[in-house]
Structure 1
Amino acid sequence: MFFDRIDGNIIMNELSNRMKCKGKSNVLFIDNLIGNGKEETKKYISLVEKRNDEDPNDYLSSILHYDGKIIILDDKAKDYKGCTNKFLIDYIEKNFYINDLKDHSFENLCLTKILILISVRVWIEYKLHKISKSPLVIKKIVMELLVS
């Protein structure tokens, strides 16, 4: 069984056997989760798995960041063509995740929460970039850090 709280309601669902690693009854296997998700969600989550932190020119992971510009992956990204950091920003900024939380299945809730975490990271970079253009805001943040 798994328990979750959505909009003040406690959700209880069985964890299906297909979600578990073979031979490890209490361990979830992320590929099983991804295999059951919406196409768009699967793309963004699998991008995180494919990123190469050691390669500063890793093209696929460029959308997992915001450094002042919206990036849309092109034909070079093959299966990930069309993925963009704007989607991740909007997922939080425009509350798109709320619709994804309406499906209370274990698989969907796990994938949605993973996508929210990925999106929050990009959204924070986006917000920090926006406020960094205002010297007064930066000065206020620095002063607050020095005082605390």
Structure 2
Amino acid sequence: MQERKSLTKITLETSVRAAAPFQLIYTAMGIVFGMQMVMTPRSLLQGEYALAVLVCVWLIHSAKRVLVVLDAETMEVTLRPTTLRGLFGETFGKKTTATVEYRSVVGVSETWRELYVVNRNGGMSVIPVTWHELSTHDRGVILRRFQEAKDES
């Protein structure tokens, strides 16, 4: 097994402090909806409160997710779902990833939703990513890695 050098994880929230307030808000909302569900007499509203609790739990879980892992020579990107099956898979924890070498990257779209890569056959591939959610600092880190790879080759 290869040892990874200079491994950097870039996540949706760059620090634990950034995700913590959202997780606390969702936790408080989940507690309120849970109490309402228990206190409501048997009715249709009880199901709606249960659904609200499930949504809060899902939001707590997805508040901090990994979008890209930067390695010394490659990066592992989490792909943006493009089909309904992919959306359900991402919702229930199945992440689709792709490993990309820095030297094969041509660029990123203006909206940071697509990564342009030269494939092995010499053609161009478009990889759907969710980098529009990254901070300006994290985008700068990614662009510096691309530039360093171009300078080395």
Q: Tell me the TM-score normalized by structure 1.
A: 0.27
Whichever structure has more strand as a proportion of its residues is 2
Of structures 1 and 2, the larger Rg is shown by 2
Q: Tell me the TM-score normalized by structure 2.
A: 0.27
